[in-house]
Amino acid sequence: MIPTKTHKLGLIGYPLSHTFSPSYFAKKFEELGMPDCEYLAYSIETIDLVLGIFDKGVNGLNVTIPYKEQVLPFLDELSEEAFQINAVNTIKIENDGRRVGYNTDAYGFEVSLLNFLEGAKIEKALVLGTGGAAKAIKYVLKKMGIEITEVSRKPPFLTYAEMNQKVMDQHQLIINTTPLGMYPNEEVCPDIPYTMLTAKHFLYDLVYNPEKTLFLKKGELSGSKIKNGHDMLILQAEKSWEIWNQK
């Protein structure tokens, strides 16, 4: 008889090269002594192929680029956060077959940001980039009562060319949600006026590979405090694991 896995988990996205989660969970199952668990990478070219993965009897999935929003019509319920953010990165299949969507990126960002700020009171933040990742970030900042200015390559948002001394002085926290600087394109960074940064600024980069992006290196040179996306990545993965194991 072919042994069945009691915990069938996985990740959907496209393309799925150099992805973090499968090796993270494989190590976790080994450490916990859970050989009956599996976590597979499902690189699917179109979102409708997720139905075939549900048919395999999976217990839970993570969702990454480009499906965090596209997967919504395939779910039965959303957590309050996933509903507000309108994006899902974790799915739990309940015993009765209901597919419930969650967003653990928000949790990962919130906890890591609070640790980073160490109690510093932030009134205004600049969020660089207006893509999928920015949605969870904006949700958390609003929840924390932090006023947001979105920065983009194009109006109606503030553009990079419009970032002047006043803007830089008014915003103490700057969050990079663009993929700029990510491996293997480590020589690029968002086009902000780095010379206007001070020791009062906090720079948070969602990118975690390399550990110190050019954005963070330039911030550090100006005396700003810096943080990469590594803790957020671990925290969101652990929160997904917790959700899958909730009775």
**Cα–Cα distance, 234 to 221 (Å, whole number):** 27
* Choice from 207, 214, 216, 226 touching ligand NAP (CB under 6 A): 207
In terms of CB distance, is 58 or 233 closer to ligand NAP?
233
For position 14 contacting ligand NAP by CB under 6 A, the verdict is no
Which of 68, 135, 225, 239 does the annotation list as catalytic? 68
CB nearer ligand NAP, residue 143 or residue 200: 143
Stretch that binds ligand NAP, among 8-16, 35-43, 166-174, 200-208 (CB under 6 A): 200-208
Stretch that binds ligand NAP, among 6-14, 40-48, 126-134, 195-203 (CB under 6 A): 126-134
Among 47, 61, 133, 173, binds ligand NAP (CB under 6 A): 133
- Residues sharing a CB contact under 8 Å with residue 176, sequence separation 6 or more, in sequence order: 128, 129, 190, 203, 204, 205, 206, 207, 213, 215
Note whether 177 binds ligand NAP by CB under 6 A: yes
Q: Is 92 a catalytic residue?
A: no
Which of 139, 232, 239, 241 touches ligand NAP by CB under 6 A?
A: 232
Q: Which stretch binds ligand NAP (CB under 6 A): 24-32, 37-45, 162-170, 202-210?
A: 202-210
Q: How many residues bind ligand NAP, per CB under 6 A?
A: 23
Nearer to ligand NAP, 10 or 108 (CB): 108
Quote the least distance from Cβ 35 to ligand NAP, whole Å. Answer: 27
163 binds ligand NAP (CB under 6 A): no
Burial of 14 from C-beta contacts in 10 A (0-12 / 13-18 / 19+): middle
Enumerate binding residues for ligand NAP (CB under 6 A): 65, 105, 108, 129-134, 152-153, 177-180, 182, 206-208, 229, 232-233, 236
Residues designated as active site:
68
